[in-house]
Amino acid sequence: MKPIIVVTSTFDNGHTFLHKDYSNAIIEAGGIPFVMPYMASQDMLDQICEMADGLMLSGGEDIDPFLYGEEPAPGLGAITPERDVLESRLTERFLKSDKPILAICRGLQLLNAVAGGTLIQDIERAQAVCLQHRQQAPRAHLSHQIHIESGSLLERIIGSAHIRVNSFHHQAVKRTAPDFRVNATAADGIIEGLESMIHRFVLGVQWHPENLAGTNEAANDIFRAFVHACISK
């Protein structure tokens, strides 16, 4: 049986949508993606969380700073409050049940906020020296290098201390959530990955491996490891 994986989506003007790269990456790795529409029903959420084998938090717009106890600062972009609420509830349930989570870009930031961490609301306003984290290049282009921490889950998956990644974000992790560790950083110190120290498989990456899957072995390894963890739950 292939694992069923809930994949969060973007809400905009009454529409729910998800780039096909997310679902394709899950399918190619051996999973069945279930694209999550907006719903407020607690009973429905409970049933979906019971049914699903894993959760993938996808990318998107900014997160309401209220979630991590801050006021909105200059540089904060568009937010979608209903998406924040839905994904927070999903994340809390999957963490509590110790089911695998893969969090990508915005998903990493949401995961960190829900687990008790904070975010940099706008990197360029927060530090004088930084890399270009919103690349002006095709999505599959490898923009900058990251360092992966020795002994981390991410290192075990990828098998390398350094890789190049794509980059499409202006927010980032500031304070890491309790029971989480940093597993990757960029040359300017920006956190590029997190993982739980108390769950079987909870991994967040700041880049977009779904845009690289199929042609980039590190991206393929991430999705294969995630789907395998969902099978082995």
Find the catalytic residue in 133, 192, 208, 230: 208
- CA 177 to the chain's CA centroid: 14
Spell out the residues 6+ positions from residue 116 whose beta carbon is closer than 8 angstroms to its own.
177, 178
Query: Taking a C-beta distance cutoff of 8 angstroms, is the pair 75, 133 a contact?
Result: no
Which among 52, 43, 42 is positioned nearest to 8, based on CA atoms? Answer: 52
Burial of 151 (0-12, 13-18, 19+ CB in 10 A): exposed
Q: Are strands 180-186 and 191-196 parallel, antiparallel or unpaired?
A: antiparallel
Q: Give 101's strand partners.
A: 55, 202
Is 155 tagged catalytic? no
Q: How far is 46 from 171, CA to CA, in rounded Å?
A: 30
Q: Catalytic: which of 105, 169, 170, 230?
A: 105
Q: Is 105 a catalytic residue?
A: yes
Active site residue 147: no
The catalytic residue among 87, 192, 195, 210 is: 210
Between the alpha carbon of residue 153 and those of residues 63, 89, 127, the distances in Å are: 26, 25, 29
Residues identified as active-site: 105, 208, 210
